Amino acid sequence: MLGSPITKRRWRNFRSNNRAFWSLIIFSGLFTLSLFAEFIANDKPIFVSYRGEIHMPIFTFYPETRFGGDFKTEAAYKEVEVEC
């Protein structure tokens, strides 16, 4: 992976600096977490249990009528009338 001797020496020097190395680890972890931000902090629930059935609105469209609503539009999951 690390080919030339100069690159190996630079990597060894970087690893010897604990603050820089741990900053890289933390930054990489936060960056990886940010890649899933749309999935984690979405306005749709990941799982919905309604009358014994399990639904996954994050992957499939469910109309409001499926959860006891009046319209065939996308369910507003936080409304009291449609609350699961």
pLDDT grade for 5, boundaries at 50, 70 and 90? very high
* Residue 26 domain boundaries: 5-37
pLDDT at residue 29 tops 90: yes
What mean pLDDT comes out for the span 56-71? 79
Interacting residues of 75 by C-beta distance below 8 A, sequence separation 6+: 57, 62, 63, 64, 66, 67, 69, 82
Say if residue 61 is in the same domain as residue 30: no
Say if residue 79 is in the same domain as residue 52: yes
Sign of CA pseudo-dihedral 65, 68, 69, 73: negative
Say if residue 48 is in the same domain as residue 80: yes
Looking at the structure of the chain, the number of domains it has is 2
Say if residue 50 is in the same domain as residue 84: yes
pLDDT of residue 10: 93
Q: Which residue has the higher pLDDT, 81 or 61?
A: 61
Say if residue 27 is in the same domain as residue 55: no
pLDDT at residue 40 tops 60: yes
Say if residue 47 is in the same domain as residue 83: yes
Predicted TM-score (pTM) of the model is 0.54
Say if residue 53 is in the same domain as residue 83: yes
